[in-house]
Structure 1
Amino acid sequence: MSDTLREALFVRTKLTFTAVAAAAASALVLTACGTSSDPGASSGKDGTADASKPLVVAASPVPHADILDFVRKNLAAKAGLKLEVKEFTDYVLPNTATESGEVDANYFQHKPYLDDFNKKKGTHIVPVVNVHLEPLGLYSKKTDDLKGLTSGKTVAVPNDTTNEGRALRLLADNGLITLKDGVGSDGNLSDVADAKGLKFKELEAATLPRALNDVDAAVINGNYAVEAKLKPATDALAVESAGDNPYANFLAVKKGNEKDPRVLKLAELLNSPEVRKYIDDTYEGSVIPASGPVK
């Protein structure tokens, strides 16, 4: 056999061995990590969650992440819970990250928003337990009275479906506009029967506090108001009523993970007297405890 042929056979043998080894390694990785169809992908062989791993929760910075940080620093260790908090500043990524498994749970939204999101995005996120309510408020830097919002004035509202409908309801309840009969939480600008001369600007919810200098008033979600140092209880021209309010914010997970023992522990802690006191003391009415099951 020539040296050239011997070298060619050696190279082919080496390449074949490398390919077999790579395939074996890939199979080992898939076995260890699991696939999306493997019930034990992120847990033990029986499909139950590994309680020794940290529970990773996606949350809006204020007040959600602050409340979770209070739990992490003061209550979680004693309860045997390892908790990690990932902050998100929009209303989309927390749900998509929960759906994909990038995070284990999220805490940032209310039921009307989640129902709309699941329907539009095909996701399977479900609520676990209510935690708090952030009263929606109407704010202005150009008038300190609702009477100042006269014909020709511009009011900014959130541009996502459920929060826009909620904002329009607040304006209607305070006599600034009239809505068509039967309009619910999914109302939009086409459902305004009489704008009474007001003009509207639809903006992403997170940008509304910054828009106050450019419009005559803005309807702002409670968490973004608090983050912007606005207090619904004292700074708003009008505030949403807390009674029978369907907009409580809750802990949520992907369907099938509701009984994860780590999730159940966190749910219990979020409804604890310690957390209720923290919310009351920290936010002074700008955020209101709203514990219990999600209706």
Structure 2
Amino acid sequence: MMALTVHSKEVGKWREMWLDELSSLRRLSEQTLIAYDRDLDQLLQFLVNHLGEPVHTKHLQNLTPTDWRAFLAYRRANGAKNRSIARSLSALKSFYKFLAKEGWATPDSLNAIRAPKNDQSLPKALTAIDAKRMIEDGGMLDDEPWIAARDIAVMALCYGGGLRIAEALALTPSDFDGNDALRITGKGGKTRMVPIIKPIYAAIEDYQRKCPFQPGPKDALFRGARGGPLRARLVQLKMQKLRSAFGLPASATPHALRHSFATHLLGAGGDLRAIQELLGHASLSTTQIYTKVDSAHLMEAYLKAHPRS
């Protein structure tokens, strides 16, 4: 949290109440709450320098469109991209709506500011060969057989089921619907059913047989070396080692396995709506970016192979 000299106690109180409401009523994920709190923190840090004194409620009430544009210029000067700025504005509008509901400020001046268009960068998928290699040889750098089996199972879920790394690590034994499907809790607490193909289920079973820890029905399935829930950072570090061993680019991350799942399904003729459901996207427009990825791959292959290219 920020030092008290950055804002008044009253502003700190509104900040905590806003975050509590986002958590309890809107059920936003912990990662989203951290991001929203960071966005508000950046505004308050800017205002301290902009105004020359700690931020009080009156300052939040009196911000003008000129102040907001100065804040956006400050964010850009510190390297923020359009996507980050747009999310920041969304978070701050949420905070101002909360203040308006409590009768302390209105979002009028902020609503006059348009969010920048996102810099639409295409997801970087692995080739099918590299994705398969990451999973099949994913345990090659581990001395402990159960840890090797664990890492293979996690990566198999990201590529074979299109799971986010946080979704895979949040799985519990009770989330298994027989050996055919998984109940996944995604962003915003939304649940979806994801089918499990046999190789994924076999990888999970292999891990469970070898794992020295036996989690309860509601405990995290994947465990760290000391028995606690496995942390995403450990999976990311493992992927980093595998990238180095296999000579893969820095874009080969756990999330790239999810991108690869969607890209390869689409390339094989998968239905876009079905892929949307499997990924847990709220909007089809989010899934449609993979059509551009597939087109990019086709053009790349065309330019490499066509004799007149």
What is the TM-score when the length of structure 2 is the normalising length? 0.28
Higher alpha-carbon Rg: 1
What is the TM-score when the length of structure 1 is the normalising length? 0.28
| Relative contact order, higher structure (CA 8 A, sep 6+) | 1
